[in-house]
Chain A
Amino acid sequence: DTGVSQDPRHKITKRGQNVTFRCDPISEHNRLYWYRQTLGQGPEFLTYFQNEAQLEKSRLLSDRFSAERPKGSFSTLEIQRTEQGDSAMYLCASRAPGAMNTEAFFGQGTRLTVV
């Protein structure tokens, strides 16, 4: 197992285009998170999945954002009609089953640039 995998690592898109990112969590990790990080800031929570169920969404997740985890394994994050303010690093993290406060492991992130 090589850890949390995210694809692509970098994405440049024109304003108004749709983009989709993929996250493959660590095997058997049933909990998956999406975070967004801008320069000089810590990661900010976007959404949380337990298995295939999306249990929490941040108010940062506007209606242009949608996340799925259809079979409880990989997850996708789609941004529709991208805006320049969407430029950020999008991070995925996963946690093993069990106690709610175990360590979360992050992927290397997808760097989105909207031009």
Chain B
Amino acid sequence: EDQVTQSPEALRLQEGESSSLNCSYTVSGLRGLFWYRQDPGKGPEFLFTLYSAGEEKEKERLKATLTKKESFLHITAPKPEDSATYLCAVQYSGGSNYKLTFGKGTLLTVNP
């Protein structure tokens, strides 16, 4: 069973059409949930860290929220330059104390 599941696998939006990406996790003892953006052929770029349920963080058109079992990445009025793969990762105390466990990502395409 995957510990981190992202949905949808792919999302196509029109410019200005707001939406949300989901990251659900089954691990216990969450020590942090991380969102990254990845452009083709490049390494992941850090966006947010969330530590506890109820926490929210914002950056430009992006807002990340966290509950006890999932996180959402809300994208408000997206632009074509927001097109990328968005990765979610968790760090939890039940397994290694060091590593991040990633989901498979959501490929976002924003059409002009």
Confirm or deny: A56 has a beta carbon within 8 angstroms of a beta carbon on chain B. yes
Say whether B100 contacts A104, CB under 8 Å: yes
Known: A100-B31, A101-B31, A103-B34. A42 touches B102 (CB 8 A): yes
Known: A91-B43, A109-B42. A42 touches B98 (CB 8 A): no
Interface size in chain A (residues, C-beta < 8 A): 26
A30 to chain B, nearest CB (A): 12
B8 to chain A, nearest CB (A): 14
B26 to chain A, nearest CB (A): 15
Confirm or deny: B71 has a beta carbon within 8 angstroms of a beta carbon on chain A. no
Say whether A104 contacts B97, CB under 8 Å: no
Confirm or deny: A85 has a beta carbon within 8 angstroms of a beta carbon on chain B. no
Interface size in chain B (residues, C-beta < 8 A): 26
Bound Cα distance from A56 to B101, whole angstroms: 14
Bound Cα distance from A106 to B46, whole angstroms: 8
Say whether B43 contacts A107, CB under 8 Å: yes
Confirm or deny: A62 has a beta carbon within 8 angstroms of a beta carbon on chain B. no
The residue that B91 contacts in the complex, of A31, A41, A101, with Cβ under 8 A, is A101
Say whether A100 contacts B98, CB under 8 Å: yes
Q: Which residues of B contact A42 (CB under 8 A)?
A: 4, 87, 89, 102-105
Say whether B43 contacts A108, CB under 8 Å: yes
B102 to chain A, nearest CB (A): 3
A residues with a Cβ closer than 8 A to B are 4, 6, 31, 33, 40-45, 48, 50, 55-56, 91, 100-109, 111
B residues with a Cβ closer than 8 A to A are 4, 31-32, 34, 36, 41-46, 49, 51, 87, 89, 91, 96-105
